[in-house]
Structure 1
Amino acid sequence: MESWSSPAVPGLPPAPESLELYSTPNGSTLTTTARDGIASLYVCGITPYDATHLGHANTYVHFDLLVRYWRACGLQVQYVQNVTDIDDPLLERAAATGVDWQELAESQVQLFREDMEALQVIPPTEYLGAVEMIPAVVEDVERLLELGIAYPVPAEDAETEDYYFDIAAAQQRTDWQLGSIGGYDRAAMEELFPQRGGDPHRAGKRDPLDPLLWRAAREGEPQWPGGELGHGRPGWHIECSVIARRHLPAPFTVQGGGSDLRFPHHEFSAAHATAADGVPLAERYMHTGMVGLEGEKMSKSRGNLVLVSGLREQGVDPQAIRTLILSHHWREDWDYTETALQRAQDRLARWKHALTQAPEHDDAAAPEDLQYALMSALGHNLNAPAALDTLDMWASGQTAGSTGAARVRGVVLALLGLDLSAQGVCGA
């Protein structure tokens, strides 16, 4: 699957690698170190049945910040993102709208690509759909079945079988334990499981929380060859473990996604991978905050979406949308308001105006001061609001006043993905 065009990212003098990140399983901030000059990242992608809303953008912009920081440290970044281009919500939306599910998926993926380009998000190294990975999914489910960590459950017609992951068997045979990734207790997981695609009341399951690995073919549903599993399609969580295992080191540096993926998705993606080969999936887990509207989490199921494409159609500068997102810490839950968007637009305009007043050339002995100031802020748990505060101080003349305009523009563009060039200056 094709991703999107990469934005221009100016080169910077490599800075020493120093990054502390909060990791969900540990519940603390830990130093993150790349191996052999390579940092690796997996961010769970969209299920393409509706357009990109601000909650999506919040996640991908913040992980773009991580990619930019690593690159500024001179690291090679291996970044993988998936697209869940076959799943129940996609099929349900296609049926409800009378649109072919493949056409719906492709149209929404294309809109996502356009939104990411507009927001200056660096594309992943590998961008992969679940459908293209189905042969590998079958291979891993068959492996789990062979190990005794998967089991069949008769489908409705009693002639075919679905396959489920056996939590108890996995806990006996691997280092993974239920709750070790998401950090929830059993009661919380039982509450969240049916809300997030689980089927706790499915007859024949050994544990209500056992997740689906392979769904046997049903009439009217898309299906693929499943080897000894029979024709069908993959469950949700297995796709990410399969994609990550085949395209990233084991374990890779950071697994990322929204906080609603802590359980069950990241919990079971990690469990599937570890059960299949005995190696942890990732070293760190970062979960971005939720974006709300009028006090409610922004989600497709609620229909309370502020779409990136909608804001762009209204003439909102995507750079202002990016500024709005970066004004919040990646772990923070926040609400969208038009007032907050206006503040972001005004702030961006002030920075752009300040750039027009900056000296044409550097005359300081250390023109990298602004770069190091921004990287210092980002190095402490990827603190984007502190980085933007640094820009505010620069714009008011309090810091890095002798750094030339070209240098400022390059540093800010490379690290924050914000273009302060004169085009589009308003209110200056």
Structure 2
Amino acid sequence: MHAWPASEVPALPGKGRDLRIHDTATGGRVTLAPGPVARIYVCGITPYDATHMGHAATYNAFDLVQRVWLDTKRQVHYVQNVTDVDDPLLERAIRDGIDWVGLAERETALFREDMTALRMLPPQHYIGAVEAIPGIVPLVERLRDSGAAYELDGDVYFSVDADPHFGQVSHYDTELMRHLSAERGGDPERPGKKNPLDPMLWMAAREGEPSWDGGSLGAGRPGWHIECVAIALDHLGMGFDVQGGGSDLVFPHHEMGASHAQALTGEFPMAKAYVHAGMVGLDGEKMSKSRGNLVFVSKLRRDGVDPAAIRLTLLSHHYRADWEWTDRVLQDAVERLGRWRAAVSRPDGPSADALVEEVREALSDDLDAPAALAAVDRWAALQESGGGTDESAPGLVSRTVDALLGVAL
């Protein structure tokens, strides 16, 4: 599966700072100092509907992580999956009377268009669950053969008791885990499981549903969590720098994925930092496909909204914050974009050297994009008041905003 084209990232003078970021597993900030190549895995979409603002906010957060690392003169090895076979996708295809493969391809193509328009840097490896199946099957077989997994009526389940570190990503209690498991694709009430929280690794073929050759597992399809584990281990290995996604993936997805990987390898942890973006709401509820309260990136673009304004809307909120989408927050971003573009269109202006360092410092401090925007606002206000004659300043501001914030002025 191919990703989307990369926009050029301008080089800035000097060098950026190492990233200090909130780690869900420890509950505090950690300083990430990768080697020459930083490694990040971000969980991708289940393509049964278009990209909404909740998606965009999540991928914007991890785009900033990439940009901070690139500014430190590191390379970035970024991997993202597409869950192109799963119950919600199959259910939507049946509801709409269309082929599930065609639905997945259509919505994945639209996602690529949205990411391109928003200037999100693409992953080096963009892997669909279906294409990952040949690598998933051996992992499930290994877990089963080692006693870390077991069969139940043809399905294969992972035993959470096989990982002594289970629970150390979310730190949730058992009651909350059971509730979230039931809410987010698990089956804690199924009779015969060793532990109600045990997640499915391999689903035996069901009549009328797609299935693949699972070798000794029999025909079927993979569970949700093992998909990401197989892709991450194949392309990044254990101990990669950041496992990323929305805060709704803390449990069960990231918790279970970590346990799968740790049981497979005997190593801990799967990732050095588990980083989660907040939820975007509309009309008082989390924006989600199941609720249908969505603001689509593609719809805003069709309505003539500048993608740079959409991106500034996302940047105006701290990535870990839950926030509400309103017409006002978008209008504020449109007005900010206009001020910034007017400011950099002049032939000279106040020196921007300090601004570059302010933006770097803000982003290195747990991706504090609102503080970075405020720094650019201050420079634009000085520019508007005629506060300088540095001919290089407008260009440096444009390159800084592009390189570190992903906004083209």
Question: TM class, shorter-chain normalised?
Answer: over 0.9
Task: Provide the residue aligned with 1:162 in structure 2.
Answer: 155
Shift of 1:17: 3.5
Task: Provide the residue aligned with 2:342 in structure 1.
Answer: 353
Task: Provide the residue aligned with 1:294 in structure 2.
Answer: 283
Letter in 2 for 1:124: P
Cα distance in 2 between the residues matched to 1:377 and 1:249? 30
Query: Any unmatched runs of 5+ in structure 1?
Result: 155-160, 421-428
Structure 1 residue 393 and structure 2 residue 378: aligned?
A: yes
Task: Provide the residue aligned with 1:274 in structure 2.
Answer: 262
Task: Provide the residue aligned with 1:417 in structure 2.
Answer: 406
Q: 2:297 aligns with which of 266, 283, 308?
A: 308
Q: Is the 8 A contact 2:243 2:275 kept in 1?
A: yes
Shift of 1:220: 1.0
Cα distance in 1 between the residues matched to 2:14 and 2:221? 45
Q: Secondary structure at the match of 2:163?
A: helix
Q: Which whole-Å deviations, capped at 9, do the CAs of 1:100-158 have from their partners, x for residues lacking one?
A: 0000000000000000000000101110001111011101000001110000001xxxx
Shift of 1:16: 4.6
Cα distance in 2 between the residues matched to 1:185 and 1:284? 21
Shift of 1:368: 3.8
Task: Provide the residue aligned with 1:223 in structure 2.
Answer: 211
Letter in 2 for 1:326: L
Letter in 2 for 1:133: A
Q: Which whole-Å deviations, capped at 9, do the CAs of 1:325-358 have from their partners, x for residues lacking one?
A: 0000010000000011101100111111111235
Go from structure 1 to structure 2 and tell me whether the alpha carbon gap of 1:13 and 1:191 turns closer, same or farther (over 3 Å shift): same
Task: Provide the residue aligned with 1:423 in structure 2.
Answer: none
Q: Secondary structure at the match of 2:382?
A: coil
Letter in 1 for 2:168: S
With normalisation by structure 2, the TM-score equals: 0.96
Task: Provide the residue aligned with 1:182 in structure 2.
Answer: 170
Letter in 2 for 1:258: G
In terms of mean alpha carbon deviation, does 406-415 or 94-103 score higher?
406-415
Task: Provide the residue aligned with 1:29 in structure 2.
Answer: 29
Matches within 5 A, 1:331-342: 331-342=320-331
Give the CA RMSD over aligned residues.
1.5
Task: Provide the residue aligned with 2:68 in structure 1.
Answer: 69
Letter in 1 for 2:139: D
Structure 1 residue 370 and structure 2 residue 370: aligned?
A: no
Cα distance in 2 between the residues matched to 1:81 and 1:354? 36
Cα distance in 2 between the residues matched to 1:180 and 1:325? 30
Cα distance in 2 between the residues matched to 1:16 and 1:109? 33
Q: Which whole-Å deviations, capped at 9, do the CAs of 1:161-180 have from their partners, x for residues lacking one?
A: 00000112333xxxx22x21
Shift of 1:369: 2.9
Q: 1:379 aligns with which of 353, 357, 364?
A: 364
Q: Is the 8 A contact 1:213 1:237 kept in 2?
A: yes
Q: Secondary structure at the match of 1:397?
A: helix
In terms of mean alpha carbon deviation, does 238-247 or 199-208 score higher?
199-208
Q: Secondary structure at the match of 1:418?
A: coil
Task: Provide the residue aligned with 2:56 in structure 1.
Answer: 57
Q: Secondary structure at the match of 2:379?
A: helix
Q: Is the 8 A contact 1:40 1:249 kept in 2?
A: no
Cα distance in 2 between the residues matched to 1:358 and 1:395? 13
Shift of 1:14: 4.7
Cα distance in 2 between the residues matched to 1:19 and 1:9? 18
Shift of 1:50: 0.4
Q: Is the 8 A contact 2:343 2:394 kept in 1?
A: no
Letter in 1 for 2:222: P
Q: Is the 8 A contact 1:164 1:213 kept in 2?
A: yes
Q: Secondary structure at the match of 2:234?
A: helix
Shift of 1:409: 1.1
Matches within 5 A, 1:249-268: 249-268=237-256
Cα distance in 2 between the residues matched to 1:25 and 1:273? 16
In terms of mean alpha carbon deviation, does 12-21 or 280-289 score higher?
12-21
Shift of 1:13: 3.2
Cα distance in 1 between the residues matched to 2:135 and 2:13? 40
Cα distance in 1 between the residues matched to 2:44 and 2:98? 22
Q: Is the 8 A contact 1:24 1:183 kept in 2?
A: no
Letter in 2 for 1:4: W
Q: Secondary structure at the match of 2:91?
A: helix
Q: Is the 8 A contact 1:213 1:235 kept in 2?
A: yes
Counting matched residue pairs gives 404
Q: Is the 8 A contact 1:241 1:281 kept in 2?
A: no
Structure 1 residue 200 and structure 2 residue 161: aligned?
A: no
Structure 1 residue 114 and structure 2 residue 99: aligned?
A: no
Q: Which whole-Å deviations, capped at 9, do the CAs of 1:373-420 have from their partners, x for residues lacking one?
A: 110111111100000000101101189953522222111111111111
Shift of 1:12: 2.1
In terms of mean alpha carbon deviation, does 296-305 or 395-404 score higher?
395-404
Shift of 1:38: 1.4
Q: Secondary structure at the match of 2:194?
A: coil
Q: Is the 8 A contact 1:14 1:74 kept in 2?
A: no
With normalisation by structure 1, the TM-score equals: 0.92
Shift of 1:18: 2.1
Cα distance in 2 between the residues matched to 1:167 and 1:376? 40
Cα distance in 2 between the residues matched to 1:62 and 1:181? 19
Task: Provide the residue aligned with 2:139 in structure 1.
Answer: 140
Letter in 1 for 2:146: L
